[in-house]
Homo-oligomer: A and B are copies of this chain.
Amino acid sequence: MTKFLSDNAAAVHPAVWDAMRAADHADNPYDGDALSAEMDARFTDLFGRECAALWVATGTAANCLALGTMCAPHGGVVCHEESHIEVDEGGAPGFFLHGAKLIHVLGTGAKLAPDEIARTIDPIRDDVHQVQPHAISITQASEYGRSYSPAELKALAAFAKERRLGLHMDGARFANSAAFLGGSAQDAAQAACGGVDSLAFGFIKNGGMNAEAVILFDPEAANHVRYRRKRAGHLQCKGRYLAAQILGMLEGDVWLTNAAHANAAAQEIALGCGERLMHPVEANELFVRLSASEREALRETGFEFYDWGEDAARFVSAWNTRDEDAVALGKAIAAL
């Protein structure tokens, strides 16, 4: 069986194992160790602007801790109605934000744009009876594998600033967008990040084991997250193993190489999809129109994947997808 179910359960990259092993000696507990202390500098270098970087074990925690710095319990977070925080995090934002509201916006390819956001929030009466927006959350790459361009991010940041809203980026597949946008590690990271206030930088789907980075471009926000991370039971005493995973993937740009590989596999598959593609492939996910019988045929050939509604399927490539498997899948779809 060749799995295209998701990248979220793939094996761990050798560089990550090596980095964890290298951390296997006594050091200070929690985030007092040498590796955790190194993170701020490494990400500041990558993004070319001052930031704080904290490890947590899941993307859900990363998103919610970051959003907690910009949305009060009585406020709201603008997000796409199909965003992961709305649909797939088991109500975690409601928990971490103490009951704050998610305000749903539409948008092609699960992407948000200022005009659509304005269409939703402008009618909100400026009174205490209606929950006021405090922040915007976007997903890079989006839930449909679309990447925001630097121009789109610039427009969103300007809009957020004008409306005095925080701007957060759920970057569970941030690396895939960075690789899609291209350039050196620094260029790619900065292009994919734009001017957001915070970023949940995903490593797990991209070869890590259980470490994501919360990136905060406001130092005061970082202090907030430090207290809330502990309070949420997310401060691990052997945190150095999480820092090691992240630093191990930054070292030698493993994060970018892995993502580029997954993206390339997705493009291979896309070659066979033609008009079946529901969205442009701008990361490592494909949404493909396939009838029930076509999906059955593909599965009998040995491919694993999720149904997407009744007439489509989702395929996800990963850092360790074999080229030949991607090619084979593309051909199999083309042959349907």
Binding site for B on A (CB under 8 A): 3, 5-6, 8-12, 17, 21, 24-29, 33, 56-58, 60-62, 64, 73-74, 76, 87-101, 128-132, 204-205, 209-210, 226-238, 240-242
Contacts and interface: CB of A to CB of B under 8 A. Distances in A.
A242 B58 CA distance: 13
Contact of A98 (B33, B73, B90, B210): B73
Given A128-B230, A210-B238, A237-B58, A24 B8 contact: no
B129 A89 contact: yes
B74 A91 contact: yes
B90 A238 contact: no
B130 A87 contact: yes
Contacts of A235: 58, 60, 90, 128
A233 B99 contact: no
Nearest to A88: B129
A210 B74 contact: no
A226 B74 CA distance: 11
B58 A236 contact: yes
B129 A230 contact: yes
A45 to B, nearest CB: 26
A91 B210 contact: no
6 contacts: A56-B233, A73-B95, A90-B131, A92-B231, A96-B233, A209-B238
Contacts of A57: 57, 210, 233-234, 236
A90 B8 contact: no
List the 6 closest pairs (A to B, CB-CB), nearest first.
Answer: A94-B99, A61-B233, A90-B230, A60-B233, A9-B29, A8-B237
Contact of A226 (B8, B28, B128): B128
B234 A61 contact: yes
Contacts of A234: 57-58, 61, 233-234
B24 A9 contact: no
A134 B21 CA distance: 41
B91 A231 contact: yes
In this complex, the member of A10, A233, A240 whose beta carbon has the largest number of chain B beta carbons within 10 angstroms is A233
Contact of A231 (B56, B74, B227, B236): B74
A242 B9 CA distance: 13
A130 B204 contact: no
